[in-house]
Amino acid sequence: MATTVLASARHKVDDLGQAIELCYERGWTDGLPVIPPTEVAVRGMLDAAGLAPDQQITNITNRQVVVTAEKVAINAVMAGCRPEYLPVVVAAVEALGDPIYGYHGPATSTGGAAPLIIVNGPLARTLDFNSGDNLFGPGWRANATVGRAVRLVMRNVIGTLPGKLDRGTVGHPGRYSYVIAENETESPWTPLHVERGCQPGQSAVTVMAAMAPHQVYNQLSNTAAGVLDTFCDTMKNPGMVGQPHYCLVIAGEHMRTIAADNWTKADIRNYVFEHSKNTVAHFKRTSRMPGTIKPEDETAMRPIVSRVEDILVVAAGGRAGTFSCYIPGWASRTASTAVTRVIKEGRA
Amino acid sequence: MAFEILDPTVEPRKQPLTYVARPDSLKGKRIGLVENTKYNSDRLLQKIGAILVSEYGAADAKMWRKHNASVPAHDEIIDEARRGVDVVVAGVGD
């Protein structure tokens, strides 16, 4: 039977300042100050989500760590989450524990990936996740604190500590928080979570092991193909070869240009898949692939992902500006695959 | 005013782990090599296997390839290694 007892160790502090400093001293922060996790705050978080403290959220087998609702709630309080955000954090943590996400690889690898968390469905609007201006930037509590909570769980519960079980060589700023919502209100396209099997009325997170965003600028073309040609020209020279996914984040002006040609997300994927290929010779010449260049390598075309459907398309970003971005995935399909999880509210 | 905060960390679950005794000699031993898929890890392990045979008298060396570098050796490797080899060499080539 589920217990209501909070089993975590308790630390007595004299005041707020000492609590914040204690969290630094213990290595519990991401470098920024955290909200001290009091029992009242943690209980409020669990109650809002209808979760018992000892409920298992996921089990990271490689690390022999069971992640409980209590630990997720404590870290969510520390990150600054509102109680109603907890189901989103929980869904993302569940996704991290899915074997096909392969937690240990993207969390530990020198590649320095971060979990990109894309929020879809009604909750994205209710909880005010940003899907527009300054998409990846600061200023939205939901985006900033949900991703931060996930990172704190990775750090404090699963042991993903820089220099130890986090060996990212350069990492990227998304490791603080990497959360966006899809702009379903203005998008002409099928939402990401529906493409991935959810119902339109459901809310969901899609979690992808991801490198940093690469911006694409095209102010000149007024056709879908013209806009996507700029994407493809950049993407065909990737930092790495063989990624499991690419995520295209298409912002307002580009979205409207592409939609005006009646292109669907499937059309976008097919076009990008075909036009972002490069030759094996190019990859060998630029030391992205091993081996000597053979004559046939000059015409052997290699796609950026192994399957068309491994390109994720998300409508998000500001309405003004001819910028969009793409986000390369980490490693390979055998190492990590994006996971979509329905956000469950009021589970108890 | 003094108050309490809750600890956000956990201790990993402890589990018993027993190592097989290291052999005194590799003479006549069957060597297993677990390759982690990184560039050149197969070549490095092949070389190690050849040295263990030619210089240390091992009987032979057999290599397996993991699914990818980030996961433990899968069950098929473990089962075959348990049945078919005496010593295993594994490492992270990168």
User: In terms of CA atoms, which chain A residue is nearest residue B68?
Assistant: A335
B2 closest CB neighbour out of A12, A78, A290 = A12
Q: What is the pLDDT of residue A348?
A: 47
- Residue A28 and residue B9: Cβ atoms within 8 Å? yes
- As separate numbers, helices (DSSP H) first and strands (DSSP E) second, chain B gives 2, 4
Interval A42-91: pLDDT, tens: 999 999 999 999 999 999 988 889 999 999 999 999 999 999 999 999 99
Could you tell me what percentage of chain B is helix, strand and coil, using 3-state DSSP and rounding each to the nearest 5? 25, 20, 55
pLDDT value for A310 = 96
Which H or E run contains A143?
A: helix A141-156
Nearest CA among A183, A156, A173 for reference residue A210: A173
State mean pLDDT over A259-285. Answer: 97
B66: nearest CA partner in chain A: A334
B94 pLDDT band, cuts 50/70/90, is low
Can you give the pLDDT at residue A1? 47
CB contact under 8 A, B6 and A66: no
Summarised one tens digit per residue, pLDDT across range B13-32 is 777 888 888 899 999 999 99
**E strands, chain A, where?**
10-13, 56-60, 65-68, 114-120, 179-181, 204-210, 214-217, 246-250, 278-279, 301-302, 311-315, 323-328, 339-342
Tell me what pLDDT residue B16 has.
86
pLDDT of B52 strictly over 90: yes
- How many angstroms away from the CA of A198 is the closest CA of chain B? 29
Q: Given pLDDT bands bounded at 50, 70 and 90, which one contains residue A347?
A: low
Q: What is the CA angle A154-A207-A42, rounded to 5?
A: 45
CB contact under 8 A, A39 and B1: no
Average pLDDT, chain B: 91
Q: For A179-231, how does the pLDDT look when each residue is reduced to its tens digit (9 = 90+)?
A: 999 999 999 999 999 999 999 999 999 999 999 999 999 999 999 999 999 99
Contact B12 A102 (CB under 8 A): no
Predicted local confidence at residue A318, as pLDDT: 98
Q: What is the ipTM of this complex?
A: 0.93
User: B8 and A157: CB-CB below 8 Å?
Assistant: yes
Judged by CB atoms closer than 8 Å, whether chains meet at A64 and B13 is answered as: yes
Terminal Cα distance for chain A, rounded: 12
Q: Which of A66, A106, A156 sits opposite B8 (nearest CB)?
A: A156
Q: How far is CA A26 from CA A155, B9, B43, in A?
A: 12, 10, 43
Give the closest-approach CA distance of B38 to chain A in angstroms.
11
Could you tell me the pLDDT band of residue B38, with boundaries at 50, 70 and 90? confident
Helix, strand, or coil here: A94? helix
